[in-house]
Structure 1
Amino acid sequence: MQKKTNRLKNLNEKLVDVEERERKAVASDLHDGVVQNLGMSISTIKTIKESTIVPDTQTLSKIQEYLEQSVIDIRSMIYKLAPPILDDFDFETALGFFVEEINIKYQGSLSYINNIDKPVLFDKTTKIVLYRAVSELMTNIIKHSQSQNAEVIVSETNNRIQISVEDDGVGFCWEKVRPTQFSCFGLNSLMDRMQNIDGDMKIFSEPGKGAKIVLLVRKPPN
């Protein structure tokens, strides 16, 4: 009983830590992206208003570019906080849309392969956990892996749904970094969240040989 209580306490502490990190990440994204783009747009518009010179097409195009990027950034944050697409589509389709959003935002080349023939009817909690897990793994690739190629593959094996997130970046030695610096990447908390939905997460990586993270969860009955 005490062991179970301690496990729940540790899980709760990690969930609180995850929420705090997510809030800080949103604040940082707002400051570094949206706020700066809007600030530059306002500054440029004020300069135009105070000038007697009619603005040229290039200046107006620059303002448009700032505003369009702000819209993209805000949409991306909305998807992270409360992805509405999960209410309208199955998990595999929603994941495909998210990969597309990531590629647009970061001008990336993440590829998405869905090997599932029929939609998987996950419950809402499982969909959210998996969606956010893949989101965090893709963010790690973009920020830390120095990878030129990465892919997300959804498949079925032994009555379990498998989601593989793989890159060809710098890689790491999981056993060495697990107890220390890797907490900042969130893999430990991802493992806990996967276990909380009776799932599993496997990590395959070597320094200089990229990384492959596999999420596994039991396939729900149709």
Structure 2
Amino acid sequence: LTAVLMTLKTAEDALPSSPDHAQKALAGSRSQVDMALREIRKAILDLRPSVLDDLGLASAVRWYADKHLRPLGVKVSLEISGDEEGATGTAATAIFRIVQEAVSNIAKHSQTKNAKISLEFRQSEVLVLVEDDGRGFDPDSLKLPQDSGRGLGLLGMRERAELFGGTVEIESSPGKGTRVRVRVPFE
């Protein structure tokens, strides 16, 4: 939106002396606003994914992994054990968001052809394992988010789990894949 304001100011300044330049700047601003609105709508819809309400946590995880990994040629294995009945509401949303970030990281960074997700529903907690056999990375290099934004997703995963008294552990090393272990209690 800041870019739109700057472009509008450019158009305003150019209007008296260069109407063609102003018209191009206004068209660019319109395009930027359109893109911003699409992103805002998507963010609003993503606050509480309707797929959780429609399908439940396990099926929502399966849907998300299939949608984002299979088109990349990644074979996805999903294992589910236990009864997910108690894993609802904000805890289920947090778990889904954590898995969503882990799957997105596989798609963006791992260069793998195999991913495994397991959900173990226990009486008062959910254990999640998301792993791949891709290129891996050094987790110590991302303990604190970088100025570039690298590591923010991992930090967000940890913060979501901690809000519920849970944990996220990341095991990885270059050339050896990545394993994300999550434990989130629920009431």
The normalised TM-score by structure 1 is 0.57
Equivalent position to 1:195, from 162, 165, 169: 162
Q: Give the aligned length.
A: 149
Counterpart of 1:66? none
1:177 aligns with 2:137: no
State the identity %: 26
Q: Greater helix percent: which structure?
A: 1
Give the CA deviation at 1:180: 4.9
Equivalent position to 1:119, from 84, 97, 118: 84
Give the CA deviation at 1:130: 1.0
Gaps of 5+ in 2: 1-34
User: Does the 8 Å contact 2:135/2:175 carry over to 1?
Assistant: yes
CA distance in structure 2 between the partners assigned to 1:126 and 1:189 by the alignment: 15
Counterpart of 2:52? 86
* SS state at 1:209 partner: coil
Give the CA deviation at 1:177: 3.0
- Structure 2 residue identity aligned to 1:204: E
CA distance in structure 1 between the partners assigned to 2:175 and 2:184 by the alignment: 29
Counterpart of 2:110? 145
User: Does the 8 Å contact 1:120/1:219 carry over to 2?
Assistant: no
Instruction: Report the more deviating stretch, 85-94 or 200-209.
Output: 85-94
Counterpart of 1:207? 174
Counterpart of 2:131? 166
Give the CA deviation at 1:107: 4.3
Q: Greater strand percent: which structure?
A: 2
- Structure 1 residue identity aligned to 2:125: R
User: Does the 8 Å contact 1:167/1:211 carry over to 2?
Assistant: yes
User: Does the 8 Å contact 1:90/1:121 carry over to 2?
Assistant: no
The 3 A distance-change label for structure 1 pair 104 and 174 is closer
Counterpart of 1:34? none
Instruction: Report the more deviating stretch, 139-148 or 155-164.
Output: 155-164
For 1:1-222, list aligned pairs within 5 A.
Answer: 80=46, 82-116=48-82, 118-156=83-121, 160-181=125-146, 183-185=149-151, 186-220=153-187
- Structure 1 residue identity aligned to 2:174: P
User: Does the 8 Å contact 2:91/2:164 carry over to 1?
Assistant: yes
Aligned-pair RMSD on alpha carbons? 3.1
User: Does the 8 Å contact 1:92/1:154 carry over to 2?
Assistant: yes
CA distance in structure 1 between the partners assigned to 2:77 and 2:44 by the alignment: 22
